[in-house]
Structure 1
Amino acid sequence: MKKFFIIISLLCFHNYICVAQTQSNDNSNKAEDVTVAYMTKELNLTPDESKKFWPVYNNYFKEIREAKSHFGNDEVAFEERKVQIRKKYQGQFRSVLNSDKRVNKVFVSEKNLRDLFRKEWQDRQRRKKFPGAKAQRGVIRQRRVN
């Protein structure tokens, strides 16, 4: 039953992400909304925890983004800096979430969400490249035209 609930939730998030885009500002807000909903659900945040968690997470994410822009194509240096940032914020997350398990879940959920966003972006690129194509089981297939 738990797997069923997770699959249904992911499908809802997928549909939310697939909503037609209007403006680039709206898109970033939608991505933020999906991030908030996904992480809140994955971490089972209470309203009180949520008030404390999101400022810490936003600062963490800002530092990760700055590190990525600073190191550019030097992937090894970026990964080292990312580990330093995670260690720095690990204690702050622990004080909000009260559990090492939930702190680890922050990083795992973040990676899973990033993978979902990447997959959605790839699907959109394929649909843009092949407008008559229909996605089936992760593979784009051309529709037959009679």
Structure 2
Amino acid sequence: MKKIVTLMMVVLFSAGSVLYAQEQPDNKEQEKIKALEIAFISRKLNLTENEAQRFWPIYNEYKRDVRQVMLTQRNNPKRDVLNEEQMIIDVRKKYKERFVGVIGQPRMNKFFEAEREFRGVLLNQLKNRPNKPVLQRRNIN
């Protein structure tokens, strides 16, 4: 299992330079990122098969709610960044007990750390890819 996850991560990380070649990633790119995230979090949490079967549906609901907050705030002309962050924290609190019920408190903490670490790794991949047209267009460095 660990070999499969590691192999999956290596393949997906090596494809990282291609993932955001376009401004709007297509479904294939989004699926690659999602698979990479699942592999990353699975490896960090060392989920058993039973835990994984219970964890991932909760995670998908959690991710949907976070995405909804971000989309709502992005389209809000009176966007308040601090309010957005608080709303995301509220979503995390909402799912905290459900995650704890499946993986326990220590690994729940580890999950949120792994999620943050994954975003950092993904951003680093974007920053270090050979062609940076999207980042340059947006003046993000």
With structure 1 as the length reference, what TM-score do the two structures score? Answer: 0.72
Corresponding residue pairs, total? 119
Of 82, 85, 94 in structure 1, the residue corresponding to residue 91 of structure 2 is 85
Shift in Å, 1:16: 4.4
Q: Which residue type is aligned with residue 13 of structure 2?
A: H
Q: Is the 8 A contact 2:16 2:126 kept in 1?
A: no
Residue of structure 2 aligned with 1:103, choices 108, 112, 115? 108
Q: Using the TM superposition, give the Cα deviation of residue 119 of structure 1 relative to its aligned residue in structure 2, in angstroms.
A: 1.3
Q: Which runs of 4+ in 1 moved over 3 A?
A: 18-21
Cross-structure match for 1:24:
26
Deviation at 1:87, TM superposition (A): 0.7
Give the aligned partner of residue 142 of structure 1. Answer: none
The residue number in structure 2 matching 1:61 is 63
- The structure with higher relative contact order (CA 8 Å, sep 6+) is 2
Aligned position for 2:125: 120
Write the letter of the residue equivalent to 1:89.
Answer: Y
Give how far 1:81 is off. 0.6
* TM superposition shift of 1:123: 2.2
Partners in 2 of 1:14 and 1:26 — Cα distance? Answer: 15
Unaligned stretches of 5+ in structure 1?
A: 1-7, 130-146
CA RMSD of the aligned region, Å?
Answer: 2.4
d(CA) in 2 for partners of 1:75 and 1:50? 33
Q: Secondary structure at the match of 1:45?
A: coil
Q: How much does 1:14 deviate? A: 2.5
8 Å Cα contact 2:17/2:126 also seen in 1:
no
| TM-score, scaled relative to structure 2 | 0.74
**How far 1:19 sits from its partner (Å)?**
5.8
Q: Which amino acid aligns with 2:82?
A: V
Aligned counterparts of 1:107 and 1:80: Cα–Cα separation in 2: 15
Provide the rounded CA distance (Å) in 1 between the counterparts of 2:47 and 2:16: 22
Query: What's the offset of the Cα at 1:77?
Result: 0.7
